[in-house]
Amino acid sequence: MSEQSTLYTRLGGYDAIAAVANDLLPRLIADAQLGRFWAHRGTDGVLREKQLLIDFLCSCAGGPMYYRGRDMATAHRGMKIDTSDWTRFLGHLNATLDAFQVPATERGEVLGFIDSLRADIVE
């Protein structure tokens, strides 16, 4: 796969993926239902989590980043994330993708990839 055809490149690279994370994470934290997952985290912990998210997304999209975090099942085990939480998360993700006018092809790939993580995240 050439670098030009990677999802990472088509999304706009590191800066674009970081901008999406910068938009998405505050939406999730401010959500009345989902905010509980960040309720007792300090600023440093949230910043670390955001960087892990950026690294994970960049790496999975074919970029040059190395993700040093735990696998999704381990990272989310015991959080009691249910189908309702997942649906709300997807709503915020779609709103963020709308805000950045992500084209249909790339949007489909992003949503398909995210959906592939559902079994590891939802309890």
pLDDT in tens, 61-72: 999 989 999 999
Residue 29, pLDDT above cutoff 90 = yes
Q: Give me the CATH topology for the region 11-118.
A: Globin-like (1.10.490)
pLDDT beyond 90 at 2: no
* Global pTM exceeds 0.85: yes
CA 63 to each of CA 45, 69, 90, 94, 107: distance values in angstroms, whole numbers, following the listed order: 24, 16, 23, 22, 17
Question: Could you tell me the two tokens for 22?
Answer: 């910068």
Q: Where are the domains of the chain?
A: 11-118
The H helix count followed by the E strand count for the chain is: 7, 0
Residue 4's pLDDT band, with cuts at 50, 70 and 90, is low
